Structure formats: structure tokens, C-alpha cells
């Protein structure tokens, strides 16, 4: 039997070589200089542009990029096609593609006043290209909010201990923000005190779990003994009246959590970054580092000393390679290109370019910090993907077609087994790993909403360093609708309402497919943006480091979306009648149309970027005037 330690060894080996060698070369190639003024200092406003200590910003950045996708994706892909293809894509693709993507997105934003990738590409290919990319990014963020809110609700429902612990650490983060930025409390003692409070919150959550609505009658399983059900205490009934409570992957408790999570994300995104975002992400980063690093160390300890509750070997239900078409229960999908879209964030993720060129670039204290935060942060997400694959390998996965609902319990269950290597009971380890997952998700969700506002600010026009509440009215160059769209209090509604409607429809499989395709396409466009920037910066700059990954991701994404549009939906569901009922037919049509639109946007932007690069090379470093035709 194969030990799961080989998953850890493979990833740590390639990641170490990538950071020690390739990232150092890229840092010199991008000419990062600690003496250069960053946007955080140039536009410092105490709201969005806030110079931050490197460990604090690394905690925020890592917490923001590492959502549920690098957990769900590797688990699903490993079960469908086998653990070897999944491991290879993570171990090789991350340092050569994903980490490069994050690093150059962050560095490019630093050189463009902390603006997004949409603004950057607009500088070189024109306003039309900028708006196409910004609208695409904004629509992708709506999908991110929908998927992550649903996954948080699923975890809260499966582990009500986590709801208590999450509430505690959010409250601690608010107090820590006041302590650090208003009271100027000492950094290290404050860190020790508040981090201890976060871990104490885990114990409190295990002792005092709570849920919103009772466990569904007739469903398998139950809440932990002693769980406080708020609906019972308040006389709200079983919750059947909650919208979407009977939809796929939903129940009253999950359906009630979804809007509450979105409200939280909206409020958190509107607050100044020092109030909640920075301190919460910094505190939760210790939880996340412990979860990822502790699990990797537990694999080593449990394998070498045999201290785990069971041998840490790959379960019999996990195949090394299940063939090009995968296991039959998952619907027979081709390994190329669907595996590369399924894993997504563990290897490369377009959402990270929005974080890097959104919140992170506005808080970077020194340019040289970008190497650790950009390149190193993505390697950290790759380690999370390796942890997810390891938990699946230990726990096994009998139903690879189960998707999100089946993947998440495996992460907590498998993680609990691995942590028994340290003598921790599985009854503690499983909820702890569930809290690790939720910590990733909550931080990514409200960061996504904030990024959505940044995208809209650039679309409707708002000068760097300025913010809007959304209640100013139609003044200046903006219309009343534009004022609402860019407002920090009103823009979250524009994102949350369509996201909520998609979630309660019950089409979570649709959401995951669209999220994966849109996310990977955005990664290709971010690499395109970096390539265009480098070409315009200096005609002698090599374009291989960004151009080759861009070409690979464009090919993978276009083929994957074409498969989704024309085979999975048009042929299987519409022509062959696989979609039963009006809602299923409508869902298939929407998927097909969106996939085609995404392909069109991608190819159009690639053509614009290619024309710009050719113009630069032909004219000796001076690009032709951008055209909006």
C-alpha cells in the first residue's frame, strides 16, 4: 500500500525549488526595489490604501486567496481521475504557472497605482479591452460569492461547532483591529493574546455548538449532542418556509445561513481594512497555517512513528489513475481538459489576480515584499491542495459524483484521522479542520465582495484614493445608477442578490462548473495582461515566463468551456433529453450561453493583446495608439 507521505514529499520538493530559484529570478526580472514608493504610501488614506507589515499582509493575502476551491477541486479530481494526475498538476503547475500568475499580477499592479488587471490591460489595448475584462471579472466575483457562501453554509450545517468558533474569532478580530490601530498596542504581545483567543474559540465551539434550524426530519445523521438550535428557542419552526430550503444540496439550516453569510460579507467589505479585514485575516492565518502545516507535519510524524489511529496510506477506494475518462459514477469526463478546470485554485486561479491587484497591492509596504506574498502565498495554497488530496487519500471517496456535498466531509474526516498522529482525538481534529476550511471561505467571500466594488469603481470611474458611499446621488460625472454601483454600502447588494438567487435555485453543480471555467479563463487573461505589460515596458523583456502559461491556460479553458457548452449541455442535456423539467432546461441553456460568451471574451482579448505585442515589436518599443473599435 502507498503511503500518503509521498504526496507531501513531491509537493514540498518542487515548491522549494520554485521559491528558492524561480521566484528569485522573477524578482530580479521584474526589477523590484525596496526603495520605490508603493501605492499604499502614495495614496495612504486609512481606508483602502494602508501600508502593512509583511506578516500581517501575508496573512490577509493567503487567507483571501485560499478559499474552498483548492480543497473541493483536488478532492473531486483525485476521486474521478486518480490521485496521481491530481498530484502532478499541483506539484508541477503551481510553481511554474500559478505562483508566476500571482506574482506578476501583484507586481504589475504596483507599477500601475494599485489598479486592477482590467485597468492595466486598458492602458495598452484600449478602453474596450479594459471594460471587457472588468465586466468579466465582476461577473466572476458574483459566482465566487455564490459558491463560497453555499460551501460555508454546508460546513456550518455539517459542523455546528464551527459556527460558534467562527463567531468568536470574528469578534476577536474586531477588538484586535481597535487594539492595534487605535490604541497602538504592542504588536507581538497582542498577537500572542489574540491568537490564543482564536484557538480557545475552537474549544468553546466544540463545547457549545449552535445551529439556526433543526436537523431535517428523516435525514441521516444528527447535530452533536448539546447543540443549541436557535429556531427551537425562538419558536421559528422547522424552517420549511426558508426560500430554497428544499433545493439540491440545501436544507432549512443551510438555506438560512446563505443570506446571513452574504450580509456579513457585505458589511465586512464596506468597513475600513484595518477594522476587520486585516486583523481577522492575520489572526485566522495562524489557524490556517496550523491546519495546513500541522497536517503536513502530522503526515510525516504519523508515517515515521506510526502514531496515527490508522495507517496513513492511500485507501483502496482511491485509484492511482482511473483512466482518461475517469470513473463511471462521475459521468465520464475527459481528463484533458476537465481535470485542469476542476482543480483550479490549487494550481492556478484567476481570482488571485483580483486579490493581488485589488486589496494586496494597496497594502504592500515595499515592492520586494511581493516575492513572499505573491509567489510564496500561492505556494501556500498549493500546500493546502496537497493537504486536501491527502485527507481524501486517507478517508477514501466512495461517491466521486457527490461533488461539494460529499467532498467537504472527507476533508474534515480525513484531516481528523491524520491529526491523531499528535495524539489529538478525532472528535477534536475533524471540527478543527472544518474550522480551517470555513476560515478560508469567510475571508475569501468578503474579500471578493470588496474586489467587486473595486471593479465597478473602475468601470464607472472613481479616481485612485477616493471612495464613495453609494448615497451621494447623481453628482459630477456619475449617474444615480453609477453612484449605487460603485458605493461601498450599495455595491454589495448588486453582487449578493444575483448570487443568492443562483444559490437558492439549487443548481450548485451549475455554479461549480461555471465558477471553474470562469476562474481559469480569468487566469489566462491575467497572464495575458502581464505579458502585454512586459512587452510595453521593455522590448527586450522575455515573454516566455508569462506567455507560455497564458497560451496553455487559454487552450485548456476554451476547450473545457466548449465541452461544457456543446457536449455536456447542448448534446447530452438538450438534444438527448438529459435535462428534465423546465428549470433544468433553462439551466442548461444559461450554462451554454455563458460558456460561449466567455470563450468570445477570451479570444477577443487575446487578439487585442497579440496585436499590441506585435505592434511593440515592429515599432521598436512604441505601441500603436490603442483602438476601441
Task: Give me the DSSP letters along 64-115.
Answer: HH--SHHHHHHHHHHHHH-HHHHHHHHHHHIIIIIHHHHHHHHHHHHTTTT-
Lowest mean pLDDT among 128-142, 413-427, 465-479, 603-617: 465-479
Lowest mean pLDDT among 361-370, 386-395, 484-493: 484-493
Decide if pLDDT at 439 tops 90: no
Lowest mean pLDDT among 91-105, 290-304, 423-437: 423-437
User: Stretch 147-163: mean pLDDT, rounded?
Assistant: 87
Q: What percent of the chain is modeled with pLDDT above 70?
A: 88
Spatial CB neighbours of 548, under 8 Å, sequence gap ≥ 6: none
Residue predicted with more confidence, 318 or 362: 362
Task: Give me the sign of the Cα torsion angle 373, 375, 376, 380.
Answer: positive
The DSSP output letter for 223 is P
pLDDT for the residue 47? 74
Average pLDDT for the chain: 84
Lowest mean pLDDT among 85-89, 321-325, 356-360: 356-360
pLDDT for the residue 125? 87
Check: CB of residue 211 under 8 Å from CB of residue 227. yes
Decide if pLDDT at 135 tops 60: yes
User: Stretch 1-28: mean pLDDT, rounded?
Assistant: 94
pLDDT for the residue 501? 78
Decide if pLDDT at 350 tops 70: yes
pLDDT for the residue 429? 87
**Is cis: bond before 337, omega within 30 of 0?**
yes
User: Stretch 136-156: mean pLDDT, rounded?
Assistant: 84
pLDDT for the residue 348? 93
Decide if pLDDT at 244 tops 80: no
pLDDT for the residue 105? 95
- The helix/strand/coil state of 171 is helix
Decide if pLDDT at 87 tops 90: yes
The tens digit of pLDDT for each residue in 507-539 reads 565 667 677 888 889 999 999 999 999 999 988
Residue predicted with more confidence, 27 or 270: 27
User: Stretch 437-463: mean pLDDT, rounded?
Assistant: 78
The DSSP output letter for 417 is H
Decide if pLDDT at 294 tops 60: yes
pLDDT for the residue 79? 83
Lowest mean pLDDT among 78-82, 89-93, 364-368, 479-483: 479-483
Q: What percent of the chain is modeled with pLDDT above 90?
A: 34
CA distance 451 to 445: 10
Scan for cell 446571513, then name that residue: 260
Decide if pLDDT at 66 tops 70: yes
Highest mean pLDDT among 76-85, 245-254, 587-596: 76-85
By CB atoms closer than 10 A (0-12, 13-18, 19+), residue 370 is: buried
The tens digit of pLDDT for each residue in 304-322 reads 999 998 889 998 878 899 8
pLDDT for the residue 510? 60
Residue 474 pLDDT class (50, 70, 90 cuts):
very low
pLDDT for the residue 93? 95
For the entire predicted model, the pTM comes to 0.82
By CB atoms closer than 10 A (0-12, 13-18, 19+), residue 480 is: exposed
pLDDT for the residue 390? 92
Decide if pLDDT at 623 tops 80: no
Lowest mean pLDDT among 43-47, 312-316, 464-468, 616-620: 464-468
Scan for cell 522549494, then name that residue: 16
User: Stretch 471-475: mean pLDDT, rounded?
Assistant: 52
Decide if pLDDT at 629 tops 80: no
CA distance 182 to 178: 5
Decide if pLDDT at 285 tops 80: no
CA distances from 5 to 21, 318, 386 (A): 24, 15, 10
By CB atoms closer than 10 A (0-12, 13-18, 19+), residue 423 is: exposed
pLDDT for the residue 477? 42
Spatial CB neighbours of 167, under 8 Å, sequence gap ≥ 6: none
Scan for cell 460603485, then name that residue: 486
Amino acid at each position: 500500500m502507498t503511503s500518503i507521505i509521498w504526496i507531501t514529499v513531491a509537493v514540498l520538493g518542487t515548491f522549494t525549488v520554485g521559491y528558492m530559484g524561480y521566484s528569485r529570478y522573477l524578482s530580479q526580472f521584474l526589477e523590484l526595489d525596496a526603495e520605490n514608493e508603493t501605492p499604499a504610501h502614495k495614496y495612504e488614506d486609512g481606508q483602502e490604501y494602508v501600508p502593512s507589515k509583511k506578516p500581517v499582509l501575508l496573512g490577509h493575502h493567503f487567507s483571501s486567496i485560499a478559499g474552498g476551491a483548492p480543497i473541493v477541486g483536488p478532492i473531486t479530481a483525485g476521486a474521478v481521475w486518480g490521485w496521481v494526475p491530481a498530484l502532478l498538476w499541483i506539484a508541477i503547475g503551481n510553481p511554474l504557472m500559478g505562483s508566476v500568475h500571482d506574482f506578476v499580477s501583484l507586481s504589475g499592479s504596483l507599477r500601475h497605482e494599485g489598479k486592477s488587471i482590467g485597468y492595466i490591460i486598458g492602458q495598452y489595448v484600449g478602453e474596450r479591452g479594459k471594460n471587457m475584462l472588468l465586466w468579466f471579472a465582476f461577473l466572476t466575483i458574483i459566482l465566487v460569492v455564490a459558491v463560497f457562501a453555499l460551501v460555508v453554509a454546508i460546513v456550518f450545517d455539517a459542523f455546528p461547532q464551527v459556527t460558534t468558533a467562527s463567531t468568536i474569532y470574528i469578534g476577536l478580530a474586531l477588538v484586535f483591529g481597535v487594539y492595534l490601530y487605535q490604541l497602538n498596542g504592542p504588536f507581538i504581545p497582542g498577537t500572542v493574546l489574540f491568537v490564543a483567543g482564536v484557538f480557545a474559540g475552537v474549544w468553546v465551539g466544540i463545547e457549545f455548538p449552535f445551529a439556526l434550524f433543526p436537523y431535517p426530519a428523516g435525514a441521516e445523521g444528527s447535530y452533536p449532542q448539546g447543540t443549541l438550535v436557535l429556531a427551537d428557542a425562538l419558536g421559528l419552526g422547522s424552517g420549511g418556509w426558508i426560500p430554497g430550503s428544499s433545493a439540491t444540496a440545501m436544507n432549512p439550516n443551510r438555506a438560512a445561513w446563505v443570506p446571513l453569510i452574504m450580509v456579513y460579507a457585505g458589511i465586512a467589505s464596506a468597513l475600513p481594512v484595518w477594522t476587520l479585514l486585516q486583523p481577522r485575516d492575520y489572526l485566522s492565518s495562524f489557524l490556517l497555517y496550523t491546519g495546513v502545516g500541522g497536517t503536513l507535519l502530522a503526515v510525516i510524524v504519523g508515517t515515521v512513528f506510526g502514531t496515527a489511529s490508522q495507517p496513513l496510506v492511500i485507501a483502496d477506494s482511491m485509484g492511482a489513475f482511473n483512466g482518461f475518462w475517469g470513473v463511471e459514477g462521475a459521468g465520464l469526463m475527459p481528463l484533458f481538459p476537465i481535470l485542469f478546470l476542476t482543480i483550479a485554485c490549487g494550481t492556478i486561479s484567476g481570482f488571485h489576480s483580483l486579490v493581488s491587484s485589488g486589496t494586496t497591492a494597496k497594502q504592500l509596504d515595499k515592492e520586494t515584499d511581493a516575492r513572499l506574498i505573491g509567489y510564496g502565498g500561492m505556494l501556500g495554497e498549493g500546500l493546502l491542495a496537497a493537504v486536501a488530496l491527502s485527507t481524501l487519500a486517507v478517508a477514501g471517496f466512495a461517491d466521486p459524483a457527490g461533488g461539494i456535498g460529499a467532498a467537504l466531509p472527507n476533508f474534515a474526516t480525513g484531516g481528523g484521522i491524520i491529526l491523531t498522529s499528535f495524539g489529538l482525538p478525532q472528535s477534536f481534529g475533524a471540527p478543527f479542520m472544518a474550522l480551517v476550511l470555513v476560515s478560508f471561505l469567510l475571508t475569501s467571500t468578503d474579500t471578493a465582495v470588496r474586489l467587486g466594488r473595486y471593479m465597478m469603481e473602475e468601470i464607472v470611474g472613481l479616481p485612485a484614493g477616493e471612495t464613495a458611499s453609494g448615497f451621494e446621488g447623481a453628482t459630477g460625472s456619475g449617474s444615480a445608477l453609477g453612484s449605487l454601483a460603485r458605493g461601498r454600502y450599495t455595491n454589495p447588494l448588486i453582487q449578493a442578490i444575483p448570487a443568492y438567487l443562483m444559490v437558492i435555485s439549487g443548481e450548485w453543480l451549475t455554479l461549480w462548473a461555471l465558477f471553474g471555467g470562469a476562474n481559469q479563463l480569468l487566469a489566462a487573461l491575467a497572464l495575458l495582461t502581464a505579458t502585454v505589460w512586459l512587452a510595453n515596458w521593455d522590448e527586450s523583456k522575455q515573454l516566455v515566463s508569462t506567455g507560455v502559461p497564458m497560451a496553455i491556460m487559454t487552450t485548456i479553458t476554451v476547450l473545457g468551456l466548449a465541452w461544457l457548452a456543446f457536449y455536456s449541455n447542448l448534446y447530452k442535456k438538450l438534444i438527448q433529453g438529459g435535462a428534465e423539467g423546465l428549470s433544468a432546461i433553462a439551466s442548461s441553456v444559461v450554462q451554454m450561453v455563458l460558456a460561449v460568451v466567455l470563450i468570445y471574451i477570451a479570444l477577443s482579448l487575446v487578439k487585442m493583446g497579440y496585436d499590441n505585442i506585435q505592434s511593440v515589436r515592429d515599432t521598436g518599443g512604441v505601441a500603436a495608439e490603442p483602438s476601441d473599435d
